[in-house]
Amino acid sequence: ETGVTQSPTHLIKTRGQQVTLRCSSQSGHNTVSWYQQALGQGPQFIFQYYREEENGRGNFPPRFSGLQFPNYSSELNVNALELDDSALYLCASSVGQGLAETQYFGPGTRLLVL
């Protein structure tokens, strides 16, 4: 039990739609990272938020955006969904903005785009 929850657990959308995925972190965990994991692959870094500001981004287009709230919850928004966006989306929270902090992963949201 990592103390990180994600909702929904599963989601089916059609191409072109928009989706919002949610993550709730442990109290005091002011850093949250989002990852995309395609089937059979390792997770890929989407972006990270620290104290409600984006402070790092992987190789994902602008239609992937996020928000972090003062209550340690966060959102990942994806616009204009494409078939290749079908994946497991993981959020991970940690304390601070350090070089080597332990990350606590949520169970993930499995998104299927038809």
Partner 1 sequence: KNEVEQSPQNLTAQEGEFITINCSYSVGISALHWLQQHPGGGIVSLFMLSSGKKKHGRLIATINIQEKHSSLHITASHPRDSAVYICAVRGRTGGGADGLTFGKGTHLIIQP
The minimum distance between CB 62 and partner 1, in angstroms, equals: 17
The minimum distance between CB 78 and partner 1, in angstroms, equals: 17
Cβ–Cβ contacts within 10 Å for residue 98, how many?
Answer: 9
In whole angstroms, give the CA distance from residue 63 to residue 65.
Answer: 6
Query: Is 73 near partner 1 (CB under 8 A)?
Result: no
The encoded tokens of residue 79 equal 């616009």
The minimum distance between CB 46 and partner 1, in angstroms, equals: 8
Give the SS3 label for residue 83. Answer: helix
Q: Which of 29, 85, 108, 111 binds partner 1 (CB under 8 A)?
A: 108
Q: Which of 40, 70, 71, 84 binds partner 1 (CB under 8 A)?
A: 40
Query: Is 37 near partner 1 (CB under 8 A)?
Result: yes
Within 8 A by CB and 6+ apart from 49, the residues are: 31, 32, 33, 55, 66, 67, 68, 74
Give the SS3 label for residue 7. Answer: strand
The minimum distance between CB 41 and partner 1, in angstroms, equals: 6
Q: Which is nearer to partner 1, 14 or 55 (CB)?
A: 55
